[in-house]
Structure 1
Amino acid sequence: MNSWDSRPTLLNLVNGNEDIFAGAVAMVPMNNIPKAIEIIEQQVVSNDKFVGIQLFTQALDKSIASVEYEPIFLEMSKVNLPIFLHPVFDNNKRDNNITFSWEYELTQAMMQIVQAGYFEKYPKLKIIIHHAGAMVPFFAGRIKYTMSDQEYRDFKKFYVDTAILGNPKALELAIDFFGSEHMIFGTDAPFAVMPNGATEQIVDAINEMRVSTTTRDDIFSNNFLKIIR
């Protein structure tokens, strides 16, 4: 079933529980790019309950930065709404694992997006990366000295969430690279910690960070409100 079929159910869930849900992220069919653009233009933009779309690091076994998917990046820049980028396993690899593989796939997708020049072509493009930017903050030095100055600057244009299951030092490292205004609150619930996810651990990690109260408030809510309409 594609996102068009599921849209009313998703929106009904949001509309019926506004004390819990502020909005939803839309899915678009990656096997039909014209239809994906149509959904963005006719459904996502026209309904303020949609706060963006979700893409994955690969689609149909191709990099999300493959040229056939570029129209979606162009469209999301035009409508000024964010892309939420989530990892998937590379089916060509035999050693996929939940602990490390997704972080590698996210990092590779970020590099491919940067090397495709999307941030230069589409200045309003906003992409939110899961898992605090994956490997990028730790390897910022390698990026700086093995890639071009423009590519290094473009890596900093990604937004990242806090969903790394805790670890305040790692979150501080992500802020050092991306900037506090590019970090938004994310929990990955209900993943990893049963029964409802690691929300408590992530909130504790944010509260343990060596940042100001203003920065902490920005991470919990203000930054995200600024990047959606």
Structure 2
Amino acid sequence: MTDDKLDAFCHILPRDYADRLFALDGVPAVANLRKRIMNIPSLVDLDVRFRQLDEFPGYRQIINLAAPPVEDFGTPAVSTDFARRGNDGLAELVDKHPDRFAGFCAAVALNDVNSAVAELDRAVGQLGAVGVQIYTHVQGHPLDEDRFEPFWKRCAELDLLVQVHPCRNSGWADYPTEERSKYEIWWTFGWEYDLSAFMARIVFSGVLERYPNLKFLIHHGGSMVPHFSGRVGPGWDQLGSRTPAHQQEDVTGYPLTKRPVDYFKMFYADTALFGAVHALRCAVEFFGPERVLFGSDSPYDPEKGPGYIRSAIANVEELDLTEAEKAAIYGNNVRRLLGSRLTR
């Protein structure tokens, strides 16, 4: 087993960013995050984080800002300011600790697309960001709306890694007759639906048709898509057969030149499946080992840091892969995608 591992999807809160965030009043998403952070010190405390990472020789992280998305913090101006401050903090962490952090994926405030593109340019051009983290929707709006086209165009031009994180809360009820989701179903299943719906809207709106070099990294092993590949493949080959005539506009006019499933195979997936080796095997079989990147979702495991890193490594080792395929997943794939942008 190689000691050289790059974690392509894990989270942190730079100290200054966290302090400013927790000073916000009247923002429900912040209040909930503040409560959670108290139980996960390694999100902010580097001493705690580094002691945990010492368990894994040769392991480094590509960091991003922990949820919630900056759009939840207020007006577009407030959101943009938090994205800038967060990116400054992430860049400083990478600069000070290149032995721990191989790079960072920037935050952007997509409630103002022009400002988001400008901040993306600054984060990449001035701060050295290797990618960008986005969420599955922007305050409930799907990301295939026409207003987001300049953002996709710029991501393609910059040749970035686009990390996609789910985003849903208890306000997204499980049934139309209810006001809230119960039992954290919004998280366990809702987040995975969000990721899968995002992928479908990106595919059918033609984003990947227009920008085939976009490198979307879908959190949690590509979510539902590998496990329902029969529905994504032969099922969507029959698109329209289940739709009544008066709703045909919902299933026509999409600008695709290949089978839908071929576009879904253009996404990348991470290994953040929380110890479910059978799920990781399915993801690797669907996307291929060349499109799976090592990612842990640290530090959100029950141990508050090392648990999901350890289980992701164990899962990769359990798969029937060649040493070259394991090395690709552990780090060579992300190096191929990002090259010299990484710290080493």
Other-structure match for 2:85:
5
Q: Which has the higher contact order (CA 8 A, sep 6+)?
A: 2
Provide structure 1 residue ranges, at least 5 long, that are not aligned to the other structure.
Answer: none
Distance 1:64 1:145 in 2: 26
Provide structure 2 residue ranges, at least 5 long, that are not aligned to the other structure.
Answer: 1-80, 174-179, 238-257, 340-344
Relative to the length of structure 1, the TM-score reads 0.94
Q: Superposition pairs for residues 19-168 of structure 1, below 5 Å? A: 19-48=99-128, 50-89=129-168, 91-93=171-173, 94-95=180-181, 96-148=185-237, 149-168=258-277
Distance 1:43 1:167 in 2: 35
2:328 maps to which of 218, 221, 224: 218
- Letter aligned with residue 16 of structure 1: K
Distance 1:204 1:89 in 2: 29
Distance 1:3 1:46 in 2: 14
1:178 aligns with 2:287: yes
Distance 1:163 1:65 in 2: 26
Of all paired residues, the percent bearing the same amino acid is 31
Q: CA RMSD in A?
A: 1.5
Q: Give the drift of 1:27.
A: 0.5
Distance 1:189 1:154 in 2: 29
Map Cα deviations across residues 155-178 of structure 1 (whole Å, 9 max, x no partner).
000000000111222212111111
Distance 2:145 2:138 in 1: 9
Task: Indicate the SS of the match to 2:333.
Answer: helix
Distance 1:192 1:113 in 2: 30
Relative to the length of structure 2, the TM-score reads 0.63
How many residue pairs align between the two structures? 228
1:228 aligns with 2:338: yes
Task: Indicate the SS of the match to 2:186.
Answer: coil
- Compare CA radii of gyration and give the structure with the larger one: 2
Map Cα deviations across residues 15-53 of structure 1 (whole Å, 9 max, x no partner).
1111100111100111211111112223314443x1100
Q: Is the 8 A contact 1:78 1:124 kept in 2?
A: no
